[in-house]
């Protein structure tokens, strides 16, 4: 059985990816690790290993023993938290990636997935339909670490033949896991508030457009990228991946179609500066051409799905 390991399985994307990988390959085929125990019971049906991804010895031991077909290395500190702890963010984001790439160089892993982000772009990058090859201009430590990581992935591929693959995710919105420490987190929080019948105070300006994606699309895209034949992967830094672009005002509007009394009030904080530096939308033509990427869910449908799923959870908690 080809085994898979998810590092960072307790995070927003980790939980979702583990659930999808379990559904596809079976619980037994998936091992999960994190520095904290994932709160999701279904994730914990897979074998859990406590792992500090910055600990080279520990990561190498797990990967040498595990001989995984694929490792999804998701452990990272995100943009907003990273600005509060810049050196810790750099250390975590870089050291952990190098630990995994070194293990892949040793031949202990066939395929590595590592997430990059729209945070590699910045004030001097274009704002709309940003091309795959556009100027990278990260202004956050998180973005700097993602840019460097992209080039490390390509370096290990070119120098050592490591099959590392990556996606520049936009903000991810899902109902099965909570985000933490990101600038795009508002787009999840706003649905939770709405489902609980509460007003929401948004930390970004009402007209701040950012690229966003429904979680199931992101997970499907990630699995498609990882299943593509190696020769199809022409971009060995990281693929732009687009789905939709919206502002807090537009999400509020979309929620009000279902809940007319829902109210949003904006009090921009330090995260507004980060959001302003990022693009509004990206051009994902390379991902479409190389491995057939296509987003499926757009804002109106996402709002219906999110409110329905979170409404059921709220209802179950109350009764």
In the complex, which residues of this chain contact ligand SER (CB under 6 A)?
78-79, 117-119, 142, 169, 171, 182-184
Q: Measured from the CB atom, is 92 or 118 closer to ligand SER?
A: 118
Q: Rounded to the nearest whole angstrom, what is the least distance from the CB of residue 210 to ligand SER in the complex?
A: 8
Q: Rounded to the nearest whole angstrom, what is the least distance from the CB of residue 309 to ligand SER in the complex?
A: 20
Q: Rounded to the nearest whole angstrom, what is the least distance from the CB of residue 79 to ligand SER in the complex?
A: 3
Question: For 177, how many CA atoms within 13 A lie in the half-sphere containing its CB?
Answer: 25
Residues marked as catalytic: 142
Q: Measured from the CB atom, is 30 or 144 closer to ligand SER?
A: 144
Q: Rounded to the nearest whole angstrom, what is the least distance from the CB of residue 206 to ligand SER in the complex?
A: 18
Tell me the C-alpha distance between 281 and 225, whole Å.
Answer: 20
Q: Measured from the CB atom, is 16 or 163 closer to ligand SER?
A: 16
Q: Name the residue with the smallest CB distance to ligand SER.
A: 182
Q: Rounded to the nearest whole angstrom, what is the least distance from the CB of residue 93 to ligand SER in the complex?
A: 11
Mapped to the 3 state alphabet, what secondary structure does 278-312 carry?
CCCCECCHHHHHHHCCCCCCCHHHHHHHHHHHHHH
Q: Measured from the CB atom, is 170 or 311 closer to ligand SER?
A: 170
Q: Measured from the CB atom, is 179 or 311 closer to ligand SER?
A: 179
Nearest to 69 by CA among 31, 95, 43, 97: 31
């Amino acid at each position: 059985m080809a085994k898979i390991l998810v590092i960072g399985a307790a995070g927003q994307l980790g939980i979702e990816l583990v659930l999808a990988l379990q559904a596809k390959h079976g619980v037994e085929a998936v091992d999960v690790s994190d520095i904290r125990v994932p709160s999701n019971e279904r994730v914990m049906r897979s074998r859990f290993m406590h792992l500090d991804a910055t600990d080279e010895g520990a990561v190498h031991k797990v990967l040498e023993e595990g001989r995984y077909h694929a490792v999804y290395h998701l452990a990272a500190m995100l943009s907003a938290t990273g600005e509060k702890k810049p050196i810790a963010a750099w250390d975590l984001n870089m050291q952990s990636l190098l630990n995994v790439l070194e293990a892949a160089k040793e031949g202990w892993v066939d395929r590595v997935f590592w997430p990059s982000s729209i945070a590699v772009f910045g004030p001097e990058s274009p704002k709309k339909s940003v091309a795959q090859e556009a100027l990278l201009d990260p202004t956050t430590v998180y973005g700097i670490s993602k840019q460097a990581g992209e080039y490390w992935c390509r370096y290990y591929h070119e120098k050592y033949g490591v099959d590392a693959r990556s996606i520049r995710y936009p903000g991810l919105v899902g109902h099965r896991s909570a985000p933490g420490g990101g600038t795009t987190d508002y787009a999840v929080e706003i649905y939770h508030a709405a489902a609980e019948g509460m007003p929401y105070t948004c930390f970004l300006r009402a007209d701040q457009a950012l690229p966003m994606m429904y979680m199931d699309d992101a997970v499907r895209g990630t699995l498609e990228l990882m299943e593509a034949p190696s020769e199809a992967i022409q971009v060995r830094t990281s693929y732009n991946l687009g789905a939709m672009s919206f502002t807090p005002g537009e999400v509020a509007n979309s929620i009000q179609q279902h809940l007319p009394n829902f109210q949003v009030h904006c009090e921009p904080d330090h995260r507004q500066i980060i959001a302003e530096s990022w693009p509004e939308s990206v051009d994902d033509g390379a991902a479409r051409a190389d491995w057939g990427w296509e987003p499926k869910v757009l804002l109106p449908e996402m709002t219906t799905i999110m409110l329905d799923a979170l409404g059921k959870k709220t209802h179950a908690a109350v009764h």
